[in-house]
Amino acid sequence: MGRGTCLMSVTPKSLEWQKEALCALPQNEKMREYFFSTQPTEKYQAKNLCFLCPVRKECLKWALEHRQIWGIWGGKDEGEIRRTLSVSWNGQESRRQRFPQCPYCNARPNKLRTLVVEVPGGGRWNTMKLVQCEACEFTWRSRTSANAVDAYHAQRAEKLSKPKKKKTKKKKDKE
């Protein structure tokens, strides 16, 4: 388990998908260290393995929901995951100049929407925020991602509600 893992929410059943992961196969054992490498060529090879993997979507979703901000998960490196989660290198929520894109299909922020769902038996926390991509239907749980997506849509709505300035064309004087 890496940094950011909430051990209470990790159950053997929630990790069943790992049995099908290409990185878990014995023939790829030597590549496992590439997922946490600083060498560009090794990171590239790790990402390529991810893009062939049948459980890439599950891996990426798990990494986002458990704030795995180190290493490569589901074909995304730590920078891409942090940007999606709107967190800094140490996991603290941060405002970014760029809004998140869908981490699975790279759809722009205008294709992302937030959902609020009930948590059965959640007690004090009886709802949680999800982010869903309208392009590929990839969905993940992240309050920070949801906040960033909501901020994007609020900023966009504000821009659209402002009256547009009329462009005036200057006529050139004819001599």
The residues, any chain, with a CB within 8 Å of residue 72's CB and separated by 6 or more, are 34, 35, 36, 43, 46, 47, 50, 78
Q: pTM for the complete prediction?
A: 0.75
Going from N- to C-terminal start, the domains of the chain cover 13-159
Distance CA 122, CA 160 (A): 37
Which residue, among 148, 147, 133, 10, has the nearest Cα to 68 in the 3D structure?
Answer: 10
- Asked which of 10-14, 131-135, 144-148 is least confident by mean pLDDT, the reply is 10-14
Q: Chain-wide mean pLDDT for the chain? A: 84
* 85-125 residue pLDDT tens: 888 877 777 766 778 889 999 999 999 999 998 888 767 77
